[in-house]
Homo-oligomer: A and B are copies of this chain.
Amino acid sequence: MTLIRSWLPAANDAACPFPLNNLPCGVFSVAGGAPRCCTAIGDKVLDVAALAAAGLVAVPPGTFDAPAWNAFMAHGPALWASFRAELTALLGEGSDSEAAVAQHLVPLAEAALHMPMTVAEYTDFYASKHHAMNVGTMFRGAENALPPNWLSIPIGYNGRASSVVVSGTEVRRPWGQVKGPDDALPRFAPSARFDIELELGAIVGQPSSGPVTVAEAGAMIFGYVLLNDWSARDIQAWEYQPLGPFQAKATATTISPWIVTAAALEPFRVAIPPREREILPYLEEALPGLYDIALEVGLTPEGGEETVISRTNYCEMYFSAAQQLAHHTTSGCSMRVGDLLGSGTISGPEKGNRGSLLELSWGGKEPLDLPGGLTRSFIADNDTLTLRGATKGDGYTIGFGEARGKVIPALEHPYER
């Protein structure tokens, strides 16, 4: 796949995250105005709600009435494809609509970006083998690192949709029940082991009732976002047996403001690494199920400079989003437009590829060195954590933007108002 050239020069730069090949879905506002659906092109935001109102693109009435892509997604894959084709024609080199379209462009630098969709429900998975091995080794020893079911099931659990926030939202360090190994009883205290999880989130764009195949599940996925599933490791350690993580994962989950569509990622499919155990037929996938998406995490202390603490790739997963979604429906569970599926923390084989501080600092035993003599085992107050992701085509880049969050200090008392 090569660059599709636009009449917007900035969109043709090989390093620009938003060439015509991307056309991600977002929601923007300017100067405190009402939020509206948009895409990004070059260094601009394109107001697609205005474009539809002007009759420049054909979408059913009401599609962009709300500042969220849910209604658009609900219309289904035929509209997804025709809309993408229309935008490509309008913004492409040689378009005769340049003047009409240009009226609806806003500099990206002037746009505030909001949640791109309403999250219906949020599910998080645990499907990177390096991550599962690292965490399992720390908690259960190397021999018992992988749970017996791990190679057979895309392990998942339901998260809390109300806690999903867009990049830039501050995240307050949570309070919770914590108990040290030598404490007789738990204490109620701010989390001292607050952490990130570097993930990709898949967005369900079509509903289902009853079980769906992996191929059907793949066709239901509208696109992907960067996702940071903030995790309080000390709260998690005490609460998670026997029914899984709960308050440890409910403070916030930060996503990027741009949904990169499955259509834009299609040229970047890569196969899942070889399996050690045969999977059940219902999970078999005909297409290469992953994408080559380079991911990184930057940590910036208050007033300091950023250090990239992790670099990994979505191709490290052991189960694809389509497999996870198919598994999600086996019980007959209905899926809804706007469901968000976290991939699970994405770690690679090397230390520098680990997708959480828990792994990077090996549970706090090997703190990370940062510039200026600083060290980190977990997140310190006022640190900013930034996830980035991009894939590279021939002379172009498909970017996700950022999933950024600053961790502000815990409330002095959790019930202060």
A240 to B239, Cβ gap below 8 A? no
Instruction: Tell me the complex Cα distance, A177–B238, Å.
Output: 28
User: Which one of A38-46, A328-336, A378-386 contacts B?
Assistant: A328-336
Distance in Å: Cβ of A90 to nearest Cβ of chain B: 37
List chain B residues, Cβ under 8 A from A242.
126, 147, 155, 240, 244
The answer, yes or no, to whether A250 is at the interface (CB within 8 Å) is yes
**A176 adjacent to chain B (CB < 8 Å):** yes
> B331 near A247 (CB under 8 angstroms)?
yes
- Distance A157 CA – B243 CA, assembled complex (angstroms): 6
Number of A interface residues at 8 Å Cβ cutoff, please give it. 64
Contacts known (A244-B243, A251-B332); A158 close to B156, Cβ less than 8 A: no
Please name 5 further chain A to chain B contacts, defined as beta carbons within 8 Å, in addition to the given A172-B332, A187-B280, sorted by A numbering: A157-B244, A162-B334, A240-B243, A247-B330, A251-B331
Closest Cβ of chain B: how far from A412's Cβ, in Å?
Answer: 12
**B-facing mask of A180-202, CB < 8 A → 1, else 0?**
00000111100000000000000
Chain B nearest CB, measured from A128 CB (Å): 14
User: Could you give 12 example pairs across A and B, Cβ below 8 Å?
Assistant: A121-B121, A126-B242, A149-B177, A149-B186, A149-B239, A152-B177, A157-B246, A174-B332, A186-B280, A211-B414, A232-B331, A252-B332
CB proximity of A39 to chain B, nearest CB, Å: 29
User: Does A163 have its Cβ within 8 Å of any Cβ on chain B?
Assistant: yes
Q: Measuring CB to CB, which residues of chain A are less than 8 angstroms from any residue of chain B?
A: 120-121, 126, 147-149, 152-153, 155-163, 172, 174-177, 179, 185-188, 210-213, 232, 235, 238-248, 250-252, 277-278, 280-282, 327-328, 330-336, 411, 414-415
Contact partner, A334, options B147, B163, B333, Cβ 8 Å: B163
Report the minimal beta-carbon distance from A155 to chain B, rounded to whole angstroms: 6
* Pairwise interchain contact A247-B333, C-beta atoms closer than 8 A: yes
Please name all residues of chain B whose beta carbon is closer than 8 Å to the beta carbon of A415 when the two chains form the complex: 211-213, 282
- Closest residue of B by beta carbon distance from A235: B331
Q: Given A160-B158, A211-B414, are A280 and B188 neighbors across the interface (CB < 8 Å)?
A: yes
Q: Is the CB of B333 within 8 A of A163?
A: yes
